[in-house]
Structure 1
């Protein structure tokens, strides 16, 4: 197995293996798991997998979950198909910098994404290292956010365009959770900045040490949240991956954000995805 780093911030491409074998080969999976913890997102090219093989590799990291708005493909629970075509364009926008499903009490541990068809140019995906983003924050901001918590919401993001009844029903099913602003990785112990596009506000900012008068809360909390959300957009923390058919990405959702670049219509972009159940952030 060969591992080639892609940027100084994160990411590595792995070659000279058949990824499908990781579903049954403990030694191979152990090497891939160690590489994921070290590099946070891994890439593989020329890996033609069936949905069953795709799910088998992903399940080595843990049980798979479904997205509440997208059903799994027939015969393979945990695999969803994401198809964008000229007849089925993205609604309004493709993406924003985010960590998957932080609107859940237990966001996913990670995901395995496989490219089936992609534009000849465009349709890349970007990732950002949120451990590095935290590490390089000014010390006084680290001190200020050490105990802060933030509310995360699907209602204020991709559910906002849905009919009110659907939006309220989904919020009842998935009440907006709160998560620590600084998350500790459960396997490595590293700290990561854990606010993204789903974060709406801090839940414990309004304390005597921060707020003298109302304007301190109104302006101070919002400006701090926007500053923290903006860190994923710093190029020095990022990588950009150009898809080819049968290429695969595996990422650690606990310490990264990602952004699917919508610069490809009118073209086909077909991706198959497995999402791995995670634990409660702390």
Structure 2
């Protein structure tokens, strides 16, 4: 999962299917700037990827909600709950290979506190920093945190805010990980799906007040170097 500038991460259905909205690696302080994904082995049907625009989502929020979320911070963690929910629904328990992959992913805990609204370092746009790595919103009760997170996350992923790609062999997708979320749709049964991903190092997010994200747990230097100011 971690690597260096030569690393390629296989997105392999044998190791599980995220089937959940996220931006890549938001559980560390230096969120990747760009993600690149190449199709290697595709199922005979399904397996599309959907992207949502988090800059457009912020811009479309009611001004009262903008004022609220601009002051919020969220803890992102590599230990997240969406897989647990899926495992409870599976007959026969967890696949041994998938469990090993998940255990390696969680072998070192990472937690980082990010602003819910960051300023894009190149465009100056305000974008929402959410997705399935969010563990909680800082300072709110668990009930309040969950309710507000769900409201914002549903707003980000409104149908009119998304684009969907049907993969062909050899396709390469490149996107701004700082201003999008994406979702690999797990609708292809037991068929094989393999894509290769690399990420381009990004900077530490900054709030609208100029306050940078703060790592709480874990050393993220193995994921990417911090971009120079």
TM-score over 0.5 for the alignment? Answer: yes
- Pairing 1:170–2:108 present: yes
- Where structure 2 has 5 or more consecutive residues not aligned to the other structure, the ranges are 88-98, 207-229
**Contact persistence 1:133–1:192 (CA under 8 A):** yes
Please give the secondary structure, in 2, of the residue aligned with 1:140: helix
Could you tell me how far 1:81 is from its partner in structure 2? 2.6
Distance 1:263 1:146, change over 3 A: same
Q: Deviations over 1:26-84 (max 9, x none)?
A: xxxxxxxxxxxxxxxxxxxxxxxxxxxxxxxxxxxxxxxxx33xx68xxx822223333
Q: Distance in 2 between matches of 1:130 and 1:189?
A: 13
Provide the residue aligned with 1:60 in structure 2: none
In 1: Cα distance, 2:103 partner to 2:160 partner: 42
Gaps of 5+ in 1: 1-66, 206-216
Q: Pick from 221, 224, 236: which aligns with 2:160?
A: 236
Question: Which residue of structure 1 lines up, in the alignment, with residue 121 of structure 2?
Answer: 186
Tell me the C-alpha RMSD between the 2 structures: 2.6
Q: Is the CA contact (8 Å cut-off) linking 2:11 and 2:196 kept in structure 1?
A: yes
CA gap of 1:267–1:221, structure 2 versus 1, over 3 A, is closer
Q: Which has the bigger relative contact order, CA under 8 A and spacing at least 6?
A: 2
**TM-score, normalized by length of structure 2?**
0.75
State the 1:195 CA deviation: 1.3
Please tell me whether the aligned partners of residues 105 and 177 of structure 1 are also in contact (alpha carbons under 8 angstroms): yes
Asked whether 1:80 is paired with 2:9, we answer yes
Q: Is the aligned partner of 1:200 residue 2:135?
A: yes
Q: When the two structures are aligned, how many residues end up with a matched partner?
A: 192
Alignment of 1:241-256 (within 5 A): 241-256=165-180
Q: Output the TM-score relative to the length of structure 1.
A: 0.61
Corresponding residue for 1:47?
A: none
